[in-house]
Structure 1
């Protein structure tokens, strides 16, 4: 597993701060109550452990169906120069990642896709949600595509 996507050199900073944290809390609440939808596509709550803090973190994230019941997510940060914080949390603590979907918490194994696997997933994602193409156009970093595979029982 390799989480090595570097920061880009153009575009804006990624969203952050108290207002963004409040938005995440509200969005997570809406996902839990509203059947897992956000901004027109499926959404899950990504649970990670902070890379530096060690504290539990939650982030609402859009997802797309992957093979064998996996979830595909994109570390887009809406086209910002840097990767979202949760990307680094996945890298630091890959054994402590879970998703909340349909009222269930599922431990998952994160894997960043590369090569033809990434390209195939990227085509699927951008066909379903063209906004990701515009996010990619805003930055010079390649937006990481992550597959979250449920851990065996």
Structure 2
């Protein structure tokens, strides 16, 4: 898991390897394996690279699912920097989401305000208390992002 002793390059390689392996597991099993991780559902988030414009896909856990929207956590395991996917959706909030290996749907990403984050953080911790450990590893406030259907 990412930590302060690991270089950014090593962390990037680790995260890319985990995501690639997870995506292959989902594809090979037809979604029968890999749609849950740490007791949370997963989704595939497709963003556009902020520099390249190319699609970038990452598999993420979803601590809160509500009325077709998903609350996700930009933790990067408690690293001192936010994940690339977070920076990508800040540059272009129009994303695609495949929830639990289902059909892709167009969604809009919105970073919660500090006040909204404070209100929602207990829900995130109820789903996975490990996020508190991630928060303690870093001085940055880990962002929460709401993914909502475009419409």
User: TM-score, normalised to structure 2's length?
Assistant: 0.84
- 1:21, 1:136 → 2: CA distance? 21
Q: How many residues align?
A: 141
Partner of 1:127: 126
Partner of 1:108: 107
- 1:124, 1:20 → 2: CA distance? 25
- 1:135, 1:35 → 2: CA distance? 22
Deviant stretches of 4+, over 4 Å: none
CA contact (8 A) 1:112 1:146 kept: yes
Higher RCO by CA contacts (8 Å cutoff, separation 6 or greater) = 1
What is the RMSD computed on CA atoms of the aligned residues? Answer: 1.9
Partner of 1:27: 22
Query: In structure 2, which of residues 4, 11, 21 is the aligned counterpart of residue 11 of structure 1?
Result: 4
Structure 1, gaps ≥5 residues long: 1-9
- Offset at residue 107 of structure 1 (A): 0.8
User: TM-score, normalised to structure 1's length?
Assistant: 0.83
